Amino acid sequence: MEADDEIYANGGDDTSHTRPIISGEQLDIEAYAGLYSGRTKITRLIFIAVHCGNPSMEREALRMAYDEIKKGENTQLFREVVQKIGGRLGSNYGMDNAWCDSVDRRAEQRKEKLENELNAYRTNLIKESIRMGYNDFGDFYYAHGALGDAFKSYIRTRDYCTTSKHIIHMCLSAILVSIEMGQFSHVSSYVSKAEQTPEALDPTTIAKLKCASGLAHLDMMKYKLAARKFLEVGPELGNSYNEVIAPQDVATYGGLCALASFDRSELKNKVIDNLAFRNFLELVPEVRELINDFYSSRYASCLEYLANLKTNLLLDVHLHDHVEKLYDQIRNKALIQYTHPFVSVDLNMMANAFKTTVVGLEKELATLITDNQIQIRGMPPFNEFSKLAANSTGMLRQCY
């Protein structure tokens, strides 16, 4: 089969295929921040401010972070944000020493009260009260940004858990703090521990654990495992875990990881035909469309969606370090999938579909053939690619 016999099935400009307008607009910070609550909302806003490279967006993110922090008790984070603002937002967004002093003073009083209560519980050997005392200390430290101390307090409740629900609560608390600290080995460990008490797991908790496990695999660049976990997240999640992740993130993280790591049949069976995951994809139409375009071999459209999403994905605290690698893997899979059914491929048409030059395309194909990801049977060593793989009409021939 020649490439030009089936070009519309493999990346050509099929004008009969209509799709929604690609959203390449600047991130709506207010709408984005509204998806989250608690510390992750602030962390994400600060991350955007640091990485966006846009002064207006940076100031808006810092303004929202400032306002959000003032609703809580984390004076250390408040001081850091004030320093980042550097007086650029006027007197209303400067250092508020009176607020800091008031919060810190109340914190000392609260800490003393918690210590007295815990000591009394330990003296009386009341197991449930001791568990609650350590848990209260964990909440206290977490609210004030002392994440290491919060983690230690939460896991100390383990020795005083008397029911399966107590164990689940301890695990979820440890997971939350571990995600904030970027300690994803701890996340995996406490997900596994929680899953060992299935009798106490309701559908919402199961969905939360799948999300946490997905984030841990993503952090470790185990994209196929990450995809599987995000694809298993049930609709019960809703907005119940927005102190960690939004349902839109499940669609984006799961969709991109699946594209980068699944083969064609897995993409169809586990993503496109997955009714539960389809509900998440409906929240992010661009990701839904690029997955459908990839599966339908509409590569130009798929790559256009990816290009338009890239700027905003680089502002995601969990995806930032993985965007380039995921994009490279998705592009390589598209190149492999394009060439797979053909005896010969028109390099000019293929270059057009992949928005590159023939010379650039040859280099990409050379790497894939050298890595044995594209098999050109009967071809001489590939260092002669440009002389031997492409004939005078710009055709790459696969010799079967």
Average pLDDT, the chain: 86
Q: What is the pLDDT of residues 53-110, one digit of tens each?
A: 999 999 999 999 999 999 999 999 999 999 999 999 999 999 999 999 999 999 999 9
State mean pLDDT over 198-223: 96
Does residue 202 sit in helix, strand or coil? Answer: coil
Gyration radius of the chain over CA positions: 26
Contacts of 351 (CB under 8 A, 6+ apart): 357, 358, 360, 361
- Cα–Cα nearest to 292, from 311, 276, 273, 314: 273
Q: Is the pLDDT of residue 381 over 50?
A: no
Q: Is the pLDDT of residue 46 over 90?
A: yes
Contacts of 334 (CB under 8 A, 6+ apart): 11, 294, 299, 302, 303, 354
Q: What is the pLDDT of residues 316-325, one digit of tens each?
A: 999 999 999 9
Q: Is the pLDDT of residue 398 over 90?
A: no
Q: What is the pLDDT of residues 159-177, one digit of tens each?
A: 999 999 999 999 999 999 9
Q: What is the pTM of this model?
A: 0.84
Is residue 138 within 8 Å of residue 158, measured between CB atoms? no
- What is the percent of the chain with per-residue pLDDT over 90, rounded to a whole number? 70
**Tokens coding 268:** 């169809």
Q: Confidence class of residue 388 from pLDDT cuts 50, 70 and 90?
A: very low
Q: Confidence class of residue 21 from pLDDT cuts 50, 70 and 90?
A: very low
